[in-house]
Chain A
Amino acid sequence: MIFRETFSQKLSFFLIRQIPWFMGFLLLFVGLFPLRLSFFTQHYIPFVYISLFYWIVFRPDLLSPLRVFLLGFLADLLYQTPLGYQSFCFLLFYVLVLIKQRFLQARSFSFLWGAFCVFSLGFTLFQWFFSMLLYWQYLSVVIFAVQMILLWISYPFVAGICGFFYMKWLEDEE
């Protein structure tokens, strides 16, 4: 017996496969929310790294390099960073996590959290160094350190949302 997919099935299948990319897209906008609390106007949390990390570990097939590049490009436009910079960072992050993907896939939540902290530490140092190079002046490491700690704290929430979508729709579809 041959089963043929209906149009609505094809459409829902297509839309489900866009979740990882769309989440990254949405999180870029969430980072722009005009929060008037003093602390949050000075510190920006790049939630998108959590989403990237989660989906690269669990569904790398749904995040192609082109999509990661485009997310970075959009981030550059939205966050006023030098054009190409976020694309470069996202892709570098993509490559590094992808190398360790098989090792990370079967690990516990807390292990993944720890692994994310290690990756983000490396990236924060890279960003700090790169921004000093770009502006040719010393920039306080505190801003970058606070950003990193906020990212660590946010991990369970953002990864929890990603996990919800993964278990509800994307785990069976694999």
Chain B
Amino acid sequence: MKNRPSRIRLLQSLYHRFAVYFYLFLAVVLIIFGFSKHPAIREVRSYAGDFSSTVVSILYKPFRWIGEGADQLSDLLSIRQTNKKLREENRKLLYWINRAEQLKQENVRLKKELNFVEPEASQNITGYIVADNGGTFSRSVLVRAGRRKGVRRGFVAMYNDGVLGHIEAVGEHASQLLLLTDVSSRVPVVVGEQRLLGIVSGNNTGRLKLINLPEGAQVKEGDYISTSGHSGVYPAGLAIGSVCEIEGKDIWVRPFVRREDTSFVQLFDFKLDGLLDVSSCGENDE
């Protein structure tokens, strides 16, 4: 009985002395465990995403109001100029509406003649970007749309017909969108009019790197880059970007859509199964 308090004190002093080393060791164990890409890790991250999207939406609200106020003020100051510009645009658009109507009718007629079968329409869900949760390690954002809205892993995120990335993990109310610029992102693409096959790779900067091109491929600045459809994640023909710089063997691509261009995204289900095999989580990442 007499020894019990002294034992507790001894244990306490041992804990205080070695706590830092114990937690350092625990951190190393976690890093090693993380390499296993266990599905539980993704599940925990999804819950953290749900939680953080709620917290950030609340904390960020005052800043959003300030931003919106400033935007409205700036709109008000430039109202005359905007009005003039819109009238001019409206005049041009009226011409294009007529032209588009003619082309639409022609398209319908040609499809009928060819017995063309329309591809299945893809489902799309719109979600707001609530948090930039990428650091120096990754480029990803949290979108306020999760399982409850019907989002699933592998949905493709687009804005203005350009690809932004794909959904990597889904929570109840929020999903983690992995951007094309993330260091782990690899997307098979076709380049230019020659339709050369290659891969665009993210490197955590604002640009993408074009790799794995065939030997002797001739690529020039301005070449259009779209998905090839080989990955099983992105269907063929989605706009990725254009070649912006060639430095020796390094070919750089500027994406059409960048994170800062938008505060919301459209999530498309192209019904491709490249990423949907959850039982082998992480092994089939692009």
Please pick, from A31, A42, A77, A91, the residue contacting B205 in the complex, using a CB distance under 8 A: A42
Please pick, from A30, A36, A69, A79, the residue contacting B23 in the complex, using a CB distance under 8 A: A69
For B47, give the chain A residue with the smallest CB separation.
A77
Let me know if A83 and B260 touch, CB within 8 A.
no
User: Given that A80-B134, A137-B183 are contacting pairs, would A33 and B56 also be in contact in the complex, using a CB cutoff of 8 Å?
Assistant: yes
Let me know if A91 and B23 touch, CB within 8 A.
yes
Any A CB within 8 A of the CB of B216? no
Let me know if B260 and A37 touch, CB within 8 A.
yes
Please pick, from A65, A80, A87, A88, the residue contacting B135 in the complex, using a CB distance under 8 A: A80
Let me know if A81 and B135 touch, CB within 8 A.
yes
Q: Return the CB mask of B26-54 against A: 1 if under 8 Å, else 0.
A: 11111111110000010011001000100
Please pick, from B32, B129, B204, the residue contacting A34 in the complex, using a CB distance under 8 A: B129
Let me know if B132 and A35 touch, CB within 8 A.
yes
Please, which residues of chain A bring their CB within 8 A of the CB of B259? Answer: 41-42
Could you say which of B84-92, B136-144, B218-226, B235-243 contacts chain A?
Answer: B136-144
Whole-angstrom distance between the Cβ of B43 and the nearest chain A Cβ? 11
User: Given that A95-B20, A137-B183 are contacting pairs, would A131 and B137 also be in contact in the complex, using a CB cutoff of 8 Å?
Assistant: yes
For A88, give the chain B residue with the smallest CB separation.
B27
Docked CA distance A167–B263 (Å)? 39
User: Given that A32-B56, A34-B132, A69-B26 are contacting pairs, would A82 and B205 also be in contact in the complex, using a CB cutoff of 8 Å?
Assistant: no
Please pick, from B34, B132, B138, the residue contacting A83 in the complex, using a CB distance under 8 A: B34
Let me know if B20 and A139 touch, CB within 8 A.
no
User: Given that A79-B135, A83-B34 are contacting pairs, would A33 and B60 also be in contact in the complex, using a CB cutoff of 8 Å?
Assistant: yes
Q: Return the CB mask of A81-93 against B: 1 if under 8 Å, else 0.
A: 1111101100110
Please pick, from A34, A72, A88, the residue contacting B28 in the complex, using a CB distance under 8 A: A88
Q: Which B residues from 170 to 208 make CB contacts under 8 A with A?
A: 176, 183-184, 203-206
Whole-angstrom distance between the Cβ of B127 and the nearest chain A Cβ? 12
Which interface residue of A31, A73, A78 has the most chain B CB atoms within 10 A?
A78
Let me know if B137 and A65 touch, CB within 8 A.
no
Any A CB within 8 A of the CB of B108? no
Whole-angstrom distance between the Cβ of A45 and the nearest chain B Cβ? 10
Any A CB within 8 A of the CB of B55? yes
Any A CB within 8 A of the CB of B156? no
Let me know if A82 and B56 touch, CB within 8 A.
no
Could you say which of A2-10, A12-20, A106-114, A140-148 contacts chain B?
Answer: A140-148
Please, which residues of chain A bring their CB within 8 A of the CB of B95? Answer: none
User: Given that A36-B260, A78-B52, A135-B183 are contacting pairs, would A84 and B205 also be in contact in the complex, using a CB cutoff of 8 Å?
Assistant: no
Q: List 26 A-B contacts (CB under 8 A).
A: A29-B52, A29-B56, A29-B59, A32-B131, A32-B133, A33-B132, A34-B56, A34-B132, A34-B263, A35-B132, A37-B260, A38-B206, A38-B260, A40-B132, A72-B27, A79-B135, A83-B41, A84-B26, A84-B31, A85-B31, A88-B28, A91-B27, A131-B137, A131-B183, A135-B183, A142-B205
The 8 closest A-B pairs by CB, nearest first: A84-B30, A77-B48, A88-B27, A83-B34, A84-B31, A32-B131, A87-B27, A69-B23
